[in-house]
């Protein structure tokens, strides 16, 4: 057993259940502890705290896997954890496609596994988890007998752990452009070239939330990626749908997704910078019954949070101005550091500046296959808001 000991005076976070232990919270660690090893953590007065993996190169030197002193961290442990994650998703009815493992919220720090029917995409974002990749692949094979497993570790955060960015097959090679079904619609997902793991499963329930407001509507979507919200809008009876994204690849996929569902006559996508286009269309007096916005995270660090606030305010202001009186703005934020309260304040500021009155129709978060653990702020990240704009 490799022992690590906490300092006497540290924030109560770890004792309260948070899995992260920062470098300045560790008093001593046994000599010979290697980066990536499992260590057993004790309090300053030698009470057992938990077991987790260690990396001296990371700011977060220990990430706890368990609070059970008897747990044995081995291949079987990861198999049991994967089974338990799957049990939870099945219980909630997220079986065909789901985030099977949502990192810290599932007790598996820095591990993401998305299930796209018979295909799985894995991200191991810390060294201590990366070491167990073969065990995780074995576990997926044992539980699901998948058609394919793909690694999307081309993520910059891995470098903070001393890990290379990489992607590739963890099973026999397969055609990485797969198809999934969501809410009765079909979508192409490119697990090799797509953004993140290829598809944003966290919005799967929110896409259904637009069902009634888009009926007979002229709809504008911006930051559409592969067009999921827009294809839903067309399917739910929108008169016309136009989607904009800055990425030509995304737009091509989005148009392919409209075609795949036989909706190309009413739903099309164009390459555009949403910030510029929404501004000039506002000046021209264009308008829509529904405007949908789903921009990428504007910041990942506290230092640049003001940049995110400005970005959200700007784009929502421009979006709102394009909404016909009585129409709707559908707006999302996935920036972790912009919490719900702040996000609503920003939308309020945007409405004031746009001189429009708004009322909240619906405000929700990510789908329950991305569970939220209270006290671990980064597990609640998605804000999804519909407002009616007068």
- Interface contacts to ligand SAH, rule CB under 6 A: 195, 200, 203, 222-226, 228-229, 244-247, 250, 273-275, 294-296
CB 299, min distance to ligand SAH, A: 13
Q: Which residues contact 272 (CB under 8 A, 6 or more apart)?
A: 244, 245, 246
Distance CA(290)–CA(132), nearest Å, equals: 46
Distance CA(366)–CA(30), nearest Å, equals: 41
Q: Of 38 and 382, which CB lies nearer to ligand SAH in the complex structure?
A: 382
CB 207, min distance to ligand SAH, A: 7
Distance CA(306)–CA(102), nearest Å, equals: 28
CB 334, min distance to ligand SAH, A: 8
CB 253, min distance to ligand SAH, A: 10
Q: Of 89 and 207, which CB lies nearer to ligand SAH in the complex structure?
A: 207
CB 162, min distance to ligand SAH, A: 29
- Which tokens belong to 56? 């001296």
CB 245, min distance to ligand SAH, A: 4
Q: Of 104 and 182, which CB lies nearer to ligand SAH in the complex structure?
A: 182
Q: Of 88 and 275, which CB lies nearer to ligand SAH in the complex structure?
A: 275
Q: Of 26 and 189, which CB lies nearer to ligand SAH in the complex structure?
A: 189
CB 128, min distance to ligand SAH, A: 29
Q: Of 53 and 225, which CB lies nearer to ligand SAH in the complex structure?
A: 225
Residue 60, strand partner residues: 22
Q: Of 136 and 293, which CB lies nearer to ligand SAH in the complex structure?
A: 293
Which is nearest to 366 in space by CA: 110, 98, 111, 158?
98
Distance CA(169)–CA(122), nearest Å, equals: 10
Q: Of 41 and 385, which CB lies nearer to ligand SAH in the complex structure?
A: 385
Distance CA(271)–CA(249), nearest Å, equals: 9
CB 267, min distance to ligand SAH, A: 14
CB 277, min distance to ligand SAH, A: 8
Distance CA(27)–CA(31), nearest Å, equals: 13
Q: Are 384 and 361 in contact (CB under 8 A)?
A: no
Phi/psi of residue 217, each to 5°?
Answer: -95, 155
Q: Of 274 and 386, which CB lies nearer to ligand SAH in the complex structure?
A: 274
User: What would you report as the CA-atom Rg of the chain, rounded to the nearest whole angstrom?
Assistant: 23
Distance CA(312)–CA(322), nearest Å, equals: 16
In the block, tokens 């049991």 appear at 80
Distance CA(240)–CA(234), nearest Å, equals: 7
Phi/psi of residue 263, each to 5°?
Answer: -120, 15
CB 102, min distance to ligand SAH, A: 17
Q: Of 62 and 244, which CB lies nearer to ligand SAH in the complex structure?
A: 244
DSSP track, 307-341: HHHHHHHHHHHHHHHTEEEEEEEEEEE--TTS-HH
- Tell me the CA distances in angstroms from 104 to 50, 126, 158, 205, 248, one per residue in order: 14, 12, 16, 22, 34
Q: Are 210 and 290 in contact (CB under 8 A)?
A: yes
Distance CA(320)–CA(346), nearest Å, equals: 13
């Amino acid at each position: 057993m490799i022992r690590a000991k906490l300092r006497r005076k540290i924030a109560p976070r770890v004792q309260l259940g948070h899995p992260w232990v920062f470098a300045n919270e560790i008093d001593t660690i046994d000599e010979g502890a290697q980066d990536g090893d499992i260590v057993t953590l004790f309090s300053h007065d030698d009470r057992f705290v938990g077991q987790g993996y260690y990396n001296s190169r990371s700011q977060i030197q220990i990430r706890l896997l368990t609070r059970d002193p008897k747990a044995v961290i081995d291949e079987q442990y990861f198999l049991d954890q994967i089974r338990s994650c799957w049990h939870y998703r099945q219980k909630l009815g997220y079986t065909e496609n789901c985030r099977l493992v949502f990192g810290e919220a599932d007790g598996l720090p820095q591990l993401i596994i998305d299930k796209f029917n018979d295909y799985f995409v894995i991200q191991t974002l810390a060294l201590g988890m990366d070491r167990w990749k073969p065990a995780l692949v074995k576990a997926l094979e044992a539980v699901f007998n998948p058609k394919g497993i793909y690694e999307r570790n081309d993520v910059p955060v891995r470098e903070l752990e001393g890990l290379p960015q990489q992607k590739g097959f963890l099973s026999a090679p397969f055609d990485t452009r797969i198809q999934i079904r969501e809410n009765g619609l079909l979508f192409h997902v490119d697990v090799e070239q797509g953004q993140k793991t290829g598809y944003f499963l966290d919005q799967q329930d929110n896409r259904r939330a637009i069902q009634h407001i888009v009926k007979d509507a002229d709809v504008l979507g911006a930051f559409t990626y592969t067009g999921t919200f827009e294809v839903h809008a067309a399917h739910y009876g929108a008169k016309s749908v136009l989607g904009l994204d800055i990425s030509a690849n995304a737009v091509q996929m989005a148009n392919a997704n409209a075609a795949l569902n036989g909706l190309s006559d009413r739903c099309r996508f164009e390459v555009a910078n949403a910030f510029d286009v929404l501004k000039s269309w506002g000046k021209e007096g264009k308008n829509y019954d529904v405007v949908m916005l789903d921009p990428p995270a504007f910041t990942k660090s506290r230092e640049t949070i003001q940049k995110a606030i400005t970005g959200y305010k700007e784009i929502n202001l421009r979006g709102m101005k394009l909404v016909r009186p009585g129409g709707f703005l559908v707006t999302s934020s996935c920036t972790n550091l912009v919490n719900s309260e702040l996000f609503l304040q920003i939308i309020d500021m945007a409405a004031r500046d746009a001189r429009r009155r708004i009322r909240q129709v619906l405000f929700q978060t990510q789908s329950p296959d991305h569970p939220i653990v209270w006290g671990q702020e980064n597990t609640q990240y998605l804000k999804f808001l519909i407002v009616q704009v007068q």
